[in-house]
């Protein structure tokens, strides 16, 4: 199963993004961003397993997509993806 | 007990506030400091409170709702963000020390406009005459001493036309009067959580529409490598662990206000205040109130031959709680001519009943007649 992480600028940004996606029927979890993916230190991200294209599009249209997007499969480590 | 001091703190709160505080104390940890459930639960209740406040005050983004420890804290952030040494700052004649002391500490050139109690037109004329040279306007929405509703929407319009930043102190209006921050056009709106919003003490809100300078620097749970505070709100202004229990209670308080409506709360409290006025108007007491639409339910009185502190003490002996003295607002008393005497202030609450007000009035009359 492929996991996607949308990096957020802050916890509040993650929460607001999560609410927006929730209204569109896209389920996400707020998780601490892995240190290796976050150049500024501690941060939060949205984790989701489906609906990534719709999620990115919705966040972008609402000017709320602020960070990079990563994907991970059971056999691979996180790698950045461009959507 | 008959509690007539809600303008200081609403002692009587909805039961949901108490339940929310206890629940938060038992279940929640530090928001933004972990990925575990107690931390995420805390973050969730804090965010939900931001959303509830944003909705109540017509603020577009919950990120613009910043939690502070009280209105004074919020006002200090706002004033420190906009005032430089010697800045010419217009204030009303009814400001609280939470506005004037920070301005004096920054050596601002304070110009008092509108020192005429309940005279909206002269207040507006005075601001208009002085606004062109101003660097900032700070105005209370409602006088904490006299309940005078100042024309902040019109002053806000004047500020926009003259490109002057504007700070509103909504300490006495939040939760009592409808407050549309979008229409107000203020750079910052400051309010406590523990008065009309029914939250616990130690809570406050700063609504930001302009860039603010932090008053506190420290951990935000994010961007930890950087030695600067984040640029984005609300984290920029919220260093350190939040008052999660207080914010949880504040959320419940805001929900109570939203469910009942400010208009309904206002009408109930005004009805109680008018009962008090009717009962006392033929006694040896000067009552300060307006018969126009610029009065909020806060009633100040000066009793003939009885010092305000003496009256408050005697009422306290009868388990009736009022506030006496200068109410941390010497400018307001100077404007109304009560700086030498102070006043006894009575303020009301949605949980106060007509019978309680009648009983308090009878006790006041008894003290007057025995003096």
| Distance of alpha carbon B371 from alpha carbon B353, whole angstroms | 28
Find where tokens 């109930």 sit: B268
User: Of B246, B251, B276, which is closest to residue B356 (Cα–Cα)?
Assistant: B276
Q: Final residue of a domain: which of B236, B260, B284?
A: B260
- Which domain covers residue B266, as residue numbers? 2-11+261-370
Whether residue A76 has pLDDT greater than 90:
no
Per DSSP, helices labelled H in chain A are 11-23, 52-61
Probe site for chain B from A10, A37, A40, A47 (most B CB atoms < 10 A): A10
Q: Are residues B267 and B130 in the same domain?
A: no
pTM assigned to the model: 0.95
Query: First vs last Cα of chain B: how many Å apart?
Result: 23
Could you give the 3-state DSSP secondary structure of residue B225? coil
Q: Are residues B351 and B249 in the same domain?
A: no
The number of folded domains in chain B is 2
**How large is the average pLDDT for residues B160-164?**
97
Query: First vs last Cα of chain A: how many Å apart?
Result: 18
Q: What integer pLDDT is reported at residue A75 of this predicted model?
A: 82
Q: Are residues B190 and B79 in the same domain?
A: yes
Whether residue B107 has pLDDT greater than 90:
yes
Q: What integer pLDDT is reported at residue B203 of this predicted model?
A: 98
What element of type H or E holds B129? helix B120-130
Q: Is A42 on the interface with B (CB under 8 A)?
A: yes
Label residue B256 exposed, middle or buried (CB < 10 Å: 0-12, 13-18, 19+): buried
CATH of the domain at B296: 3.90.1150.10
| Distance of alpha carbon B288 from alpha carbon B277, whole angstroms | 9
Closest residue to A40, CB basis, from B44, B50, B225: B225
Residue B146 pLDDT level (bands cut at 50, 70, 90): very high
Q: Are residues B162 and B140 in the same domain?
A: yes
Q: Are residues B199 and B112 in the same domain?
A: yes
Residue B369 pLDDT level (bands cut at 50, 70, 90): very high
In 10 A of CB A65, how many CB atoms? 20
Q: What integer pLDDT is reported at residue B140 of this predicted model?
A: 98
Q: Are residues B6 and B51 in the same domain?
A: no
Q: Final residue of a domain: which of B203, B236, B260?
A: B260
User: Cα separations (Å) of B189 from B91, B154, B168, B171?
Assistant: 15, 15, 5, 9
**Cβ contact (<8 Å) for B223 and A40?**
yes
- For A8, nearest residue in chain B (alpha carbons): B222
Chain A residues close to B32, C-beta within 8 Å:
10-11, 44
**Cβ contact (<8 Å) for A41 and B234?**
no
- B193-243 residue pLDDT tens: 999 999 999 999 999 999 999 999 999 988 889 999 999 999 999 999 999
Whether residue A26 has pLDDT greater than 90:
yes
Per DSSP, helices labelled H in B171-231 are 181-184
Q: What integer pLDDT is reported at residue A22 of this predicted model?
A: 96
User: Of A26, A25, A31, which is closest to residue A8 (Cα–Cα)?
Assistant: A31
Q: Could you check whether the bond before residue A73 is cis, i.e. omega within 30 degrees of 0?
A: no
Q: What integer pLDDT is reported at residue B248 of this predicted model?
A: 98
Q: Final residue of a domain: which of B237, B260, B283?
A: B260
Residue B351 C-beta-side C-alpha neighbours within 13 Å: 17
Q: What is the DSSP string of B231-276?
A: SSTTGGG--S---HHHHHHHHHHHHHHHHH-HHHHHHHHHHHHHHH
User: Cα separations (Å) of B3 from A6, B203, B289, B353?
Assistant: 51, 21, 20, 10
Q: Are residues B303 and B223 in the same domain?
A: no
For residues B248 and B17, the answer to whether their CB atoms sit within 8 Å is no
**Cβ contact (<8 Å) for A11 and B235?**
yes
Q: What integer pLDDT is reported at residue A42 of this predicted model?
A: 85
Q: Please, what is the average pLDDT of chain B?
A: 97
Q: Which two tokens stand for residue B47?
A: 């965010």
Chain A residues close to B44, C-beta within 8 Å:
15
The residues, ordered by sequence, that sit 6+ positions from B348 with a Cβ below 8 Å of its Cβ are: B4, B6, B268, B269, B272, B273, B297, B357
Of chain B, the percentage scoring pLDDT greater than 90 comes to 97
Q: Are residues B198 and B235 in the same domain?
A: yes
CATH of the domain at B253: 3.40.640.10
User: Cα separations (Å) of B352 from B12, B210, B297?
Assistant: 8, 38, 12
Any idea which of A68-82, B65-79, B268-282 has the lowest mean pLDDT? A68-82
Whether residue A74 has pLDDT greater than 90:
no
| Distance of alpha carbon A19 from alpha carbon B99, whole angstroms | 36
Rounded (5°) CA angle B366-B367-B371: 120
Q: Are residues B88 and B207 in the same domain?
A: yes
Q: What integer pLDDT is reported at residue A47 of this predicted model?
A: 96
- B333-350 residue pLDDT tens: 999 999 999 999 999 999
Strands B88-92 and B136-140: parallel
**Cβ contact (<8 Å) for A11 and B232?**
no
Of chain B, the percentage scoring pLDDT greater than 70 comes to 100
Q: Are residues B91 and B181 in the same domain?
A: yes
For residues B304 and B285, the answer to whether their CB atoms sit within 8 Å is yes
| Distance of alpha carbon B79 from alpha carbon B89, whole angstroms | 10
Whether residue B51 has pLDDT greater than 90:
yes
Q: What integer pLDDT is reported at residue A40 of this predicted model?
A: 81
**Cβ contact (<8 Å) for B226 and A10?**
no
Q: Which two tokens stand for residue B235?
A: 């984290």
In 10 A of CB B25, how many CB atoms? 12
In 10 A of CB B343, how many CB atoms? 28
**Cβ contact (<8 Å) for B220 and A10?**
yes
Q: Are residues B196 and B324 in the same domain?
A: no
Q: Are residues B55 and B127 in the same domain?
A: yes
| Distance of alpha carbon B343 from alpha carbon B325, whole angstroms | 6
Q: Any idea what DSSP says for residue A64?
A: -
**Tell me, what's the ipTM?**
0.86
Chain A residues close to B226, C-beta within 8 Å:
40-41
Residue A36 pLDDT level (bands cut at 50, 70, 90): confident
Residue A83 pLDDT level (bands cut at 50, 70, 90): confident
| Distance of alpha carbon B277 from alpha carbon B250, whole angstroms | 32
Whether residue B284 has pLDDT greater than 90:
yes
Q: What integer pLDDT is reported at residue B32 of this predicted model?
A: 84
Instruction: Tell which phi-psi region holds residue B199, choosing left (phi > 0), alpha (psi between -120 and 50) or beta.
Output: beta
Could you give all domains of chain A from N- to C-terminal order, each with its CATH number?
3-81 (3.30.70)
**Cβ contact (<8 Å) for B235 and A19?**
no
| Distance of alpha carbon B336 from alpha carbon B341, whole angstroms | 11
């Amino acid at each position: 199963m492929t996991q996607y992480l949308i990096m957020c600028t802050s916890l509040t940004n993650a929460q607001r993004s999560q609410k927006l996606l929730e209204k569109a029927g896209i389920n996400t979890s707020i998780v601490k961003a892995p240190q290796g993916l976050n150049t500024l230190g501690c941060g939060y991200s949205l984790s989701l397993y489906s609906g990534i294209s719709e999620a990115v599009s919705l966040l972008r249209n609402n000017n709320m997509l602020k960070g990079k997007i990563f994907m991970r499969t059971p056999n691979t480590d996180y790698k950045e993806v461009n959507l | 007990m008959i509690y007539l001091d809600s303008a200081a703190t609403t002692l009587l709160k909805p039961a949901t506030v108490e339940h929310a505080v206890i629940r938060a104390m038992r279940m929640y940890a530090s928001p933004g400091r972990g990925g575990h459930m107690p931390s995420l639960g805390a973050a969730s209740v804090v965010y939900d409170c931001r959303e509830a406040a944003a909705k109540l005050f017509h603020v577009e983004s919950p990120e613009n709702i910043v939690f502070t420890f009280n209105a004074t804290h919020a006002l200090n952030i706002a004033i420190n963000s906009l005032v430089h040494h010697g800045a010419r700052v217009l204030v009303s004649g009814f400001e609280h020390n939470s506005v004037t002391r920070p301005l004096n500490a920054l050596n601002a050139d304070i110009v008092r406009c509108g020192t005429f109690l309940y005279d909206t037109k002269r207040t507006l004329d005075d601001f208009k005459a002085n606004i062109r040279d101003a660097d900032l306007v700070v105005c209370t929405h409602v006088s904490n001493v006299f309940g005078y509703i100042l024309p902040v929407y019109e002053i806000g319009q004047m500020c926009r036309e003259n490109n002057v930043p504007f700070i509103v102190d909504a300490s006495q209006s939040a939760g009592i009067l409808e407050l549309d921050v979008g229409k107000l056009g203020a750079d910052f709106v400051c309010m406590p959580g523990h008065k009309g919003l029914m939250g616990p003490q130690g809570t406050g809100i700063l609504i930001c529409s302009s860039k603010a300078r932090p008053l506190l620097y420290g951990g935000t749970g994010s961007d930890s490598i950087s030695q600067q505070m984040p640029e984005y709100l609300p984290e920029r202004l919220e260093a350190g662990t939040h008052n999660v229990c207080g914010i949880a209670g504040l959320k419940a308080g805001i929900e109570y206000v939203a469910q009942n409506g400010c208009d309904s709360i206002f009408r109930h409290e005004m009805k109680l205040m008018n009962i008090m006025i009717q009962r006392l108007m033929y006694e040896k007491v000067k009552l300060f109130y307006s018969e126009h639409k610029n009065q909020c339910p806060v009633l100040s009185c000066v009793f003939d031959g009885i010092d305000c502190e003496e009256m408050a003490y005697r009422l306290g002996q009868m388990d009736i709680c009022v506030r006496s003295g200068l109410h941390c607002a010497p400018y307001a008393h100077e404007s109304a001519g009560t700086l030498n005497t102070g006043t006894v202030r009575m303020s009301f609450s949605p949980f106060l009943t007509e019978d309680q007000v009648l009983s308090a009035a009878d006790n006041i009359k008894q003290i007057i007649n025995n003096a």
